[in-house]
Amino acid sequence: MDMNDHAAIQAVLAGDKDAYGALVIRHSQTVFRVAYRITGNEADAEDVVQEAFLRGYRKLEGFESRANFGTWIYRIAVHCALDSVKRRRGDQDSRVGDANDPELDQVQVADQAAGPERLLLSGEISSVQLAALHSLTATERTAFVLRHMEDRTTAEIGAALGIDPNAAKQAVFRAVQKMRRRLAPLRVTT
Amino acid sequence: MTHLTEEEMIQQAYGEGENTAAVERHLEACPRCAMAFTELKRDLAEIERIEAPPRDTRYGVSVWAAIADALPVYAPKPRSGWAGAFAALWSSHRSGLWFKGLGYAAACAVLVSSAFYAGREWQKRQQQPAPVAHVEPKPQAPRQPIVVVVLDDHLDRSERFLVELKHADLDSSGMVSPLREEARSLLAANRVCRKNVAKTDDPDLTTALDHLDSLLADAANEPGGLNAKSIAELQDKMNAEGLLFEVRVLRTRIGHRAAEPDKGGTI
């Protein structure tokens, strides 16, 4: 573990609240990045960053001194981001994405109007990808982001989400399958 | 032939296959699975990573400013009796102080032994004719990051001063006088540090020392001395500039350099 993080935590627990600021400064960029990738929204990501550091501070007494603070706060941030997505979208974990997804329909209409070539060339494919990501359940989306964009192993994803590694693996599988299914029409038409 | 499932391919594509060698062999032997696997990898490669909007270097400071007020202060938990002693020992062990303590104890033991031995040797020599002095050249001490250490020390003192200022009791005149004296002392040291830092390309450090200089000058030269009103103004100024926090961050950074002798001459 980074000695500076360790020293800062000791100082905070000894009553020096301001020492926590050094930890916030050091890790806020990483936390923001993962929060943004999971929430897909700048304002929500900002909230997640603050909430993660607040939660981290309150749980600091339970922090294992041999653990890595960066990894620890990262996991808290993933939890916060997942909660944020769930709150925003309601309980959608039971939802199965299908062709009637209004969000995707909207994108598909736009695709038809613009034409697939233009889509690919103008970079609008990114927005289709984002819509496809939004069509996933909160857990699938988070697991996929952690696997595909943050290069986390399924074991790490399981730990971050507080679920069994097998469940994390299944969430990644389902996410990949849905993403491919939703992005397939773009490829067919090109 | 049993074909690979999509799950196995996804796992393989992410480098987490349970039996990578067997899957690879199968992919070499089975054109159908090989094609499916190629398509999967292409699909995954086309899903772009979401890039977070950039945040400037002050982002962490703004996050801290937003949450700092909502955080309670942890109260140290003193314990008494054997439990307290054990907890302190365990705590010092966890933070590395245990080893430091052992080190100090060993150093003291060596010192005492050396003094005893030196005393005996001196006694013997008093009784013998003095030999021709042979002075061994002293081994050269390793190059120390003196300037960085001095700066580290200065920032440390400044931090303590700012903490005292932050918590200064506006109604207590007893606190005011030492603050002013310390401000004067720090002001002189700060000017030396500013001069040294000006030769380097470190805008953050330069800015912080400039802010510190301004605050120290106000504290040291307040006409009529410090009083409740001027202390409150200094506290406002310090808070507005986030000076205490700035100094803490710099101290952490400089402390790093001080611990790395090869970077000693950078400031």
Domain chopping of chain B, boundaries:
6-46, 78-108, 146-266
B68 and A17 in contact by Cβ < 8 A? yes
| A96 within domain boundaries | no
Q: What is the pLDDT of residues B62-114, one digit of tens each?
A: 999 999 988 999 987 665 555 555 555 555 555 555 555 566 667 767 777 77
CATH number (domain holding residue A28):
1.10.1740.10
A80 occurs within a structural domain: yes
Number of domains, chain A: 2
Q: How far is B74 from chain A (nearest CA, A)?
A: 5
- Indicate if A72 and A120 belong to the same structural domain: no
Q: In which band, very low, low, confident or very high, does the pLDDT at A173 lie, cut at 50, 70 and 90?
A: very high
* CB contact (8 A) between residue B248 and residue A26: no
Out of B47, B53, B244, the one facing A42 most closely (by C-beta) is B53
Q: What is the CATH number of the domain that holds A132?
A: 1.10.10.10
A71 part of a folded domain: yes
Q: Are B266 and B148 in contact (CB under 8 A)?
A: yes
pLDDT tens by residue, B27-42: 999 999 999 999 999 9
Question: Quick check: is A95 in a domain?
Answer: no
Domain range enclosing A67: 3-89
Task: Choose between B123 and B220: higher pLDDT.
Answer: B220
pLDDT value of residue A21: 93
Whole-model pTM: value is 0.54
Contact partners, residue A109, CB within 8 Å, separation at least 6: none
Model confidence pLDDT, tens digit, residues A121-170? 446 667 788 888 888 999 999 999 999 999 999 999 999 999 999 999 99
Are A155 and A85 contacting, i.e. CB atoms less than 8 angstroms apart?
no
Nearest to B60 among A12, A25, A172 (CB): A25
Best A125, A180, A181 member to test B by mutation, with max B CBs in 10 Å, is A180
> Smallest Cβ distance to A29: which of B55, B68, B255?
B55
Say whether both A7 and A78 belong to one domain: yes
Percent of chain A's residues with pLDDT above 70: 77
Question: How far apart, in whole angstroms, are the C-alpha atoms of residue A157 and residue A139?
Answer: 10
Coil, strand or helix at A114: helix
Same domain, A16 and A78: yes
Backbone angles phi, psi at A164, to 5 degrees: -65, 145
Residue A94 lies in a domain: no
Based on the fold, state whether residues A147 and A184 are members of the same structural domain.
yes
Report d(CA A73, CA B100) in Å as an integer.
Answer: 29
In this complex, do A28 and B249 lie within 8 Å of one another by their Cβ atoms?
A: no
Most confident range (mean pLDDT) of A96-100, B116-120, B259-263 is: B116-120
- The whole-angstrom distance between A173's CA and the closest CA on chain B is 6
| pLDDT over threshold 70, residue A105 | no
If you count residue pairs, one on A and one on B, with CB atoms under 8 Å apart, how many are there? Answer: 114
